[in-house]
Amino acid sequence: MRLPRPLRVLTACAALLAPSLALAAPPAPEVQIASSAMLVLDARVQPHDIVLHIARNADHAPVAGAGNVSAEIDGHPRPITPDGTAYVLSTHGLKGGRHTLQLVVAHDGIHELLTGTLTLPKRPDRLATLEQHGYGAWWVLNIVVLLLAARLIMRRKKPPAKPS
């Protein structure tokens, strides 16, 4: 089925607007948030998680492996997943602002506690995102919906007239 010309034009406009709405911010820098006599903890805050790098001070070798690290944010345990030489900590459900991070790291036969503070970015609500993009995508969506509704109404068959 071929779409009518106005609908094709609006679809093309929506396709042009969509990539500008999905532009990603540059990645955050890696910041040292905690250290001890034997370890250093670096973190990179991303939109939905935190990537943690734990290394030994002596040789800068990463502490890696499943079960070596447990995490708490603001005193509540959080799941942490090993990812190569790093660990990924989900920030799902956390609000933006300052949070206290505590890690218990098992290495070289000891358990070490690393504590630091990190700041999560404030997540804009959907209305703020629409306002930031000037409601362009919202208007395109509304016009497409109205054109589809008009087309459905025009295609509706009239019931046969009742004989009197």
Q: State pLDDT tens for residues 69-84.
A: 899 999 999 999 988 8
Same domain as 38, residue 94:
yes
Residue 115 lies in a domain: yes
- Residue 54 is part of which domain span? 31-120
Sheet holding 86-90, edge to edge: 31-35, 39-45, 49-56, 86-90, 80-83
Axis-axis angle for helices 136-155, 5-21 (nearest 10): 150
Q: For residue 100, what pLDDT band results from cuts at 50, 70 and 90?
A: very high
Same domain as 79, residue 62:
yes
Model-wide pTM > 0.75: no
Tokens representing 32?
Answer: 């040292």
Residue 138 lies in a domain: yes
Q: Which residue, 141, 120, 145, 122, is CA-closest to 130?
A: 141
* Domain count for the chain: 2
- What's the angle, vertex CA 104, arms to CA 103 and CA 105, rounded to 5? 105
Residue 104 lies in a domain: yes
Q: State pLDDT tens for residues 25-56.
A: 566 778 888 888 899 999 998 878 899 999 99
